[in-house]
C-alpha cells in the first residue's frame, strides 16, 4: 500500500515536472521564434540619430521612427500570447500609406485585406475595411469630411471609408470601369480624387461625390501617355505627379490635366529608375520617388535633377526591403512603406534655416 502511494506520488511529481518542463520549453521556443521574427521581418526599432547627408554636409533628412505592430503602443508578454490571452497584430504586406492632420497613420495591407490605423490620439492600433477589401493598394484622405479612400486592385473598386467608424460612405467603379486601380490622391482645395487606372493606362478624376470629371492620358510613350501608371502625388499648387511605371519616368500635370513636364529614365545608376514606386512632394517642391529595386528613395528638384538618395537593402534605419508606397504630410514628415521589412519608416525633411 505504501509502495502504491509512493508510486502514485512519484507519478504525480513526474507529471508536474514534465508539465512545467513542457510549458517552459514551449515558452522558450516561443520567445526564440518571436525573437527571430523580430530580427528578420520585424527589425527592432533603431536607436540613435540618423541623418542624411552625413556630416560635415548640412543635414536635409532625419530618421524619426518606425511603425509595424500593436506592440508599438503596448508591449505584450510573450507568455500571454502563448496561452491565448493576447495577440500581436503585425503588418504583413504594407503598401499605400497616408497620414491625417492629427498625425494618425493609415497603412493598406494588401495581404491581410485591411487598413492598419496607428492611432496617435487614442494611442492604439485599430483597423478599417475588414470584410470589405480584397487587395487594398493606394490610400488618400479627405481631412475635411474625414474620409479615407482606398483602391482595391482585385475588386476593381475605390471605396471611401469613414475614418472613425470604417463604414463605406462612397464606392466608385461600375462594372468594367477600372482595371487594377492602384495609386490615388485627394485634392482638398478642389475636392477632386485622382485614381491611377493602371491596366487601362489612364488617370481618372472624380469630384467629391464620385462624379466622373475627366481622364488624363492613354497608353503610349509620348507626353501625356502612360505605360502602367501607379502612385500619385500633389504639390502645394495642385499639380499632379504620376509615376509612369514602365516608361520609367514621372509626368507632371496642371490642375486641368494638361501636361507640364517629365523626368526620369530606365537605368541602374542614381537619378534613373528601375522599379519606381511611391511618390511625394514636400513644402519646398522637392520630389521624392521610391524605387523598389534600388531599395531607396531619391530626391529631385523641380527640374528633375537628383539632389540626394537614401537607402540600401537592410533592416536598419533608412534601409529597406522592397519599399512601395510613400506619403509626405503638411509638416514635411515622410512616410515610406518598407514592405518586406513589414514596417513604415518615418523621416523628416529639414528645411534650410533662414
Determine the pLDDT at residue 44: 78
Determine the pLDDT at residue 27: 36
Determine the pLDDT at residue 88: 83
Closest residue by Cα to residue 145 from 127, 128, 160: 160
Sheet holding 105-109, edge to edge: 94-99, 105-109, 114-119, 124-128
Closest residue by Cα to residue 252 from 278, 273, 223: 223
Determine the pLDDT at residue 222: 98
pTM listed for this prediction: 0.87
Determine the pLDDT at residue 160: 98
- CA 239 to CA 259: how far, in whole Å? 10
Closest residue by Cα to residue 41 from 327, 336, 297, 321: 321
DSSP code string of 26-82: HHHHHHHHHHHHHHTTSPPPP-S--EESPTTSPP-EEEEEEE-BGGGTS---HHHHH
DSSP code string of 126-192: EEE-TTT-SSEEEEEEETTTTEEEEEETTTTEEEEEETTT--EEEEE--TTT-SSEEEEEEETTTTE
Residues 125, 276, 340, 167, CA torsion sign: positive
pLDDT tens per residue, the chain (354 residues)? 433 333 344 344 434 433 444 344 433 333 333 333 333 345 578 999 999 999 999 999 999 999 999 999 876 555 554 545 456 899 999 999 999 999 999 999 999 999 999 999 999 999 999 999 999 999 999 999 999 999 999 999 999 999 999 999 999 999 999 999 999 999 999 999 999 999 999 999 999 999 999 999 999 999 999 999 999 999 999 999 999 999 999 999 999 999 999 999 999 999 999 999 999 999 999 999 999 999 999 999 999 999 999 999 999 999 999 999 999 999 999 999 999 999 999 999 999 876
Determine the pLDDT at residue 25: 40
Determine the pLDDT at residue 36: 37
Amino acid at each position: 500500500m505504501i509502495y502504491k502511494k509512493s508510486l502514485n506520488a512519484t507519478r504525480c511529481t513526474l507529471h508536474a515536472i514534465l508539465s512545467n518542463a513542457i510549458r517552459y520549453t514551449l515558452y522558450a521556443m516561443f520567445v526564440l521564434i518571436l525573437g527571430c521574427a523580430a530580427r528578420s521581418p520585424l527589425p527592432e526599432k533603431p536607436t540613435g540619430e540618423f541623418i542624411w547627408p552625413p556630416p560635415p554636409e548640412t543635414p536635409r533628412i532625419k530618421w524619426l521612427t518606425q511603425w509595424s505592430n500593436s506592440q508599438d503602443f503596448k508591449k505584450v508578454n510573450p507568455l500571454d500570447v502563448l496561452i491565448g490571452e493576447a495577440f500581436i497584430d503585425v503588418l504583413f504586406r504594407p503598401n499605400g500609406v497616408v497620414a491625417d492632420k492629427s498625425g494618425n497613420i493609415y497603412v493598406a495591407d494588401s495581404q491581410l485585406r485591411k487598413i492598419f490605423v496607428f492611432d496617435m490620439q487614442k494611442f492604439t492600433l485599430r483597423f478599417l475595411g475588414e470584410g470589405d477589401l480584397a487587395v487594398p493598394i493606394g490610400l488618400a484622405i479627405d481631412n475635411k469630411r474625414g474620409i479615407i479612400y482606398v483602391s482595391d486592385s482585385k475588386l476593381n473598386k475605390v471605396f471611401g471609408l469613414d475614418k472613425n467608424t470604417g463604414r463605406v460612405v462612397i464606392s466608385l467603379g461600375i462594372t468594367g470601369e477600372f482595371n487594377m486601380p492602384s495609386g490615388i490622391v485627394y485634392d482638398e482645395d478642389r475636392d477632386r480624387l485622382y485614381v491611377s487606372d493602371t491596366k487601362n493606362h489612364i488617370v481618372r478624376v472624380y469630384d467629391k461625390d464620385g462624379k466622373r470629371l475627366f481622364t488624363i492620358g492613354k497608353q503610349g510613350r509620348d507626353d501625356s501617355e502612360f505605360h502602367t501608371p501607379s502612385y500619385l502625388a500633389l504639390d502645394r499648387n495642385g499639380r499632379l505627379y504620376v509615376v509612369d511605371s514602365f516608361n520609367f519616368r514621372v509626368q507632371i500635370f496642371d490642375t486641368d490635366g494638361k501636361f507640364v513636364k517629365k523626368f526620369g529614365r530606365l537605368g541602374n545608376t542614381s537619378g534613373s529608375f528601375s522599379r519606381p514606386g511611391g511618390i511625394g512632394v514636400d513644402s519646398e517642391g522637392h520630389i521624392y520617388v521610391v524605387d523598389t529595386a534600388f531599395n531607396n528613395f531619391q530626391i529631385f528638384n523641380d527640374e528633375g535633377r537628383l539632389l540626394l538618395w537614401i537607402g540600401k537593402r537592410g533592416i536598419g534605419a533608412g534601409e529597406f526591403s522592397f519599399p512601395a508606397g510613400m506619403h509626405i504630410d503638411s509638416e514635411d514628415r515622410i512616410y515610406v512603406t518598407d514592405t518586406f521589412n513589414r514596417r513604415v519608416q518615418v523621416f523628416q525633411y529639414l528645411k534650410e534655416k533662414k
